[in-house]
Amino acid sequence: MESGHIKGSYTISEVSRLFGIGIDSLRYYERLGIITPRRASNGYRHYELDDMFKLSLIKDLRRLDMPMKAIKDYLDQQSLASTLALLEKEERLLDERIAQLTADRAAVRARAQALAEASARTVDAPTIERRASRACVELSAHIERDEEMDLLIQRLHRQYEHVLPHLNMLEIGGRLSQQELRAGRANVYDSVFFVLEHNDEGAVSENETAPYDELLPAGDYLTLRYRGPYEQNAEVYRRMLAYASEHGLDLAEEPYEFYEIDNRDTANPDEFLTRIEIQVK
């Protein structure tokens, strides 16, 4: 059992353990002039009891992502008025954090519902589905391997991560290479893209800072879902063309593939659920 004895000063390693603050961070606070530990004759830092209050406050404020400069300004000019102002700022930061967590929870629930619905969907049955226009951000590249697709997805998300939700919450699609499909080659793509969030009317939602460089037009789409590995998509595409021919459908040229359940959700390819769409003219 640790002793409850209170010492008059503590070493940097003791303070680090006590507050859960890294030693490098404690040295950084010292360089900023926020905490100035006493130096012993051997040159070691010794933190006095008066420093403990400051460290406790710094830890609480950094938990709210308050800038170090704002913390230093407060400690340098601490007064009743500045404390009240600080508490108001803390409340605003907490409100922002709560709003973000609430939005994150809603997104997680929506994703869970989408996965549950996807798990129950009918597969291997062509349907005509009406779609609103869909704004997308796209990265063009010749893609032949799943590993290449995963890398480009990460690269595209990195490009827009300041305005896009977490990767697990995004609807991801690939533009299948029609030339390769007609030659019977599966799993070859000309681009990868993310579908931006839409409201109930199908318009791009209020996140105006998310630009888009591709727009999937509104209209009817011949749609077919399949479970399992992506190597099936050439055969699925062939079946869709046969269905269109049989039913007199005039199709646009470009097929799109959407990943309703993929390696973000399961490591078992047999559980993948993929949707291919081709617009009906």
pLDDT in tens, 179-203: 999 888 999 999 999 999 754 444 4
* 215 touches 136 (CB < 8 A): yes
Q: Is the pLDDT of residue 163 over 90?
A: no
> d(Cα 212, Cα 223) in Å, to the nearest integer?
24
One-letter amino acid at 197 equals: E
The residue ranking higher by pLDDT, 4 or 38, is 38
CATH of 9-78, picked from 1.10.3720.10, 1.10.3470.10, 1.10.1660.10, 1.10.600.10, is 1.10.1660.10
The residue ranking higher by pLDDT, 2 or 145, is 145
Q: Give pLDDT tens digits for 67-126.
A: 999 999 999 999 999 999 999 999 999 999 999 999 889 989 999 999 999 999 999 999
Per-residue pLDDT, 4: 55
The arithmetic mean of pLDDT across residues 36-62, rounded, is: 89
Question: C-alpha angle 98/104/110, rounded to 5°?
Answer: 140
> d(Cα 70, Cα 48) in Å, to the nearest integer?
23
> d(Cα 137, Cα 160) in Å, to the nearest integer?
9
The arithmetic mean of pLDDT across residues 158-168, rounded, is: 84
Q: Indicate the DSSP class of residue 6.
A: P
Whether the pTM exceeds 0.75: the reply is no
One-letter amino acid at 12 equals: I
CATH of 123-280, picked from 3.30.365.10, 3.40.50.720, 3.20.80.10, 2.60.120.200, is 3.20.80.10
Q: Domain ranges for the chain, please list them.
A: 9-78, 90-120, 123-280
Angle between helices 68-76 and 80-119 (to 10 degrees): 160
SS3 250: coil
Residue found by looking up tokens 């591709």 in the block: 214
How, if at all, do strands 127-131 and 171-176 pair? unpaired
* 187 touches 233 (CB < 8 A): yes
